[in-house]
Amino acid sequence: MCPHIERSDSRVGALSVRRRTTGTIAVVSALGMTAVLGGCGGSGSSDVTLRLVAADYGDSSANGSQKYWDTLAEEYESKHPGVKVEVSVYSWNDVDRKVKEMVDAGHAPDMAQIGAYADYAAAGKLYPASELLSIRTQADVLSQLSDAGEWKHTQYGIPFAASTRVLFYNKTLFAKAGITPPTTWDQLAADAKALEGRGVKYPYALPLGPEEAQAETMQWLLSGGSGYTDDVGTYTLDSAQNVETFTWLKDELVGKGLTGPVAPGKLNRADAFAAFADGQVGMLNGHPTLIQQAGKKGVKFGMVPMPGPTGKARASMGVADWMMGFRQNGHAEQIGDFLDFVYARKNVLDFSRRYGLLPVTSSASNAMAASDKPADKALRPFLEQLATSELYPVGKTSWASVSAAVKQNIGQAVAANGSPSGVLSRLQSTATAADSSDVG
């Protein structure tokens, strides 16, 4: 069988056009068979080496991402003898810098799977997703994630992995305090007070330290009904709702000693997660990796949606990492064909299950939602949040500097002598200044 052919008995009469700079077209016939016009050769008609730089999602050498990519590349190469895929995997501490150094030196990889795409899109260095992915693959990617991959209304960033945040709570500590998971801010504060009364070290862990303060901040801003930006993408850090949110945090949680012995501005996310896994935290916002971290320590925990002032929060915070194709080497056709393989349901599910992350395609998400596997069931609370989640404003080239400013300063908003309105106003000034030079 031609390597580009796949059968689909249920898709009769569909038509799919693969857009490539080389003009190759793929068609799904009335019999549901996909074939590349012009012969089976397609991307395998000449010797091509694709170079991919990717981030490491593993927590040890045993489950590092290099093994995942090597296996995937080997499988792809076995069906495409004219294409070789070389993958270099770096830690999250290094991968974005490595790609930047390669691009700055004039040696861009063909593909990069990293944390941000907007700067490269603005510099004209990336292929639009429409020039890489088949229409079938494009349609399968979750729309709210694809939308976040747009710069100037064109998608350049292809979501690769996703997660959301939910409120974790320690079931043992809650039972001892005789309380139930909160559904409103007032209930959260009351629960925290009850936990504090039982000697819990961190009734509610509020990590606003420089490691990942932008995440905890965004979850609370969404919980309060606002966010970093408005509906048209203008920064609104100092909105009345955001000031009210941080004033409530300062007065009702931090000021009443309900966030633990470490000042929120000095508490990092990793330390908060470790404390939860050690049974020292009553509640905190967490993402899927905390499931395994707490489970290994035997912590009995539950997960509920983040509360809002009077009920469930308007939205949960979503996070996505990005795949992108660079123009420099001119391998649009081969890049696109490989990415269609990467985003096949089987491969998306395999990656998501391996690293406890959420699938970025509808087909894989539906399969996970319907699965009875324990690991898939554990991810359902996060999966249920994904459809209504909101992501960082990653399509703005100014976001990197705004995020850095939030990390360094937001903890001051809830400090004893801090001013929520003052800190948010200063952050808004920083964002406005950064946005004025944002070509997006």
Helix/strand/coil for 169: strand
Strand 202-204 to 281-286 pairing: parallel
Residue 34 phi, psi (nearest 5)? -95, 130
397, 439 contact by CB (below 8 A): yes
Q: Which two tokens mark 230? A: 């408005």
Residue 421, classified by CB atoms within 10 Å of its CB into exposed (0-12), middle (13-18) or buried (19+), is middle
Each residue's pLDDT tens digit, 384-405: 988 789 999 999 999 989 999 9
Helices (H), 396-438: 399-409, 420-436
Task: Quickly name the fold that domain 166-315+396-436 has.
Answer: D-Maltodextrin-Binding Protein; domain 2 (3.40.190)
Closest CA to 391 of 262, 275, 227, 200: 227
Contact 216, 166 (CB under 8 A): no
pTM (two decimals): 0.81
Packed helices 65-79 and 332-342: angle between N→C axes, nearest 10 degrees: 120
Looking at domain 45-161+320-391, its CATH architecture is 3-Layer(aba) Sandwich (3.40)
Domains 45-161+320-391 and 166-315+396-436 share a fold: yes
pLDDT per residue over 73-122, tens digit each?
Answer: 999 999 999 999 999 999 988 999 999 999 999 999 999 999 999 999 99
Q: Are 430 and 402 in contact (CB under 8 A)?
A: yes
In the predicted structure, residue 9 carries a pLDDT above the cut 80: no
CB 170 within 8 A of CB 300: yes
Q: What would the pLDDT profile of 236-268 be if each residue is shown by its tens digit?
A: 999 999 999 999 999 999 999 999 999 999 999
Q: For tokens 């609104």, what's the residue? A: 236
Is the predicted pLDDT of residue 165 greater than 80, yes or no?
yes
**pLDDT band at residue 438 using 50, 70 and 90 as cut-offs:** low
Residue 96 to residues 49, 87, 114, 116, 398: CA-CA distances in angstroms? 22, 15, 6, 8, 16
Assess whether pLDDT exceeds 60 at residue 422.
yes
Q: Where are the domains of the chain?
A: 45-161+320-391, 166-315+396-436
Q: Does 294 score more than 60 pLDDT?
A: yes
What's the pLDDT at 33?
A: 34
**How many CB atoms lie under 10 A from the CB of residue 290?**
23
pLDDT of residue 313: 85
Q: Are 81 and 42 in contact (CB under 8 A)?
A: no
Instruction: Extract the tokens encoding 156.
Output: 């350049």
Q: Two tokens at 425?
A: 């106003």
> 218 and 229 in contact (C-beta within 8 Å)?
no
Please state the separation of Cα 11 from the chain's center in Å.
31
- Band (pLDDT 50/70/90 cuts) for residue 46 is low
CA atoms within 13 A on the CB side of 416: 3
Eight-class DSSP state of 415: S
Whole-angstrom Cα distance, residue 388 to residue 258? 29
Query: How far, rounded to the nearest angstrom, does the alpha carbon of residue 440 sit from its chain's CA centroid?
Result: 21
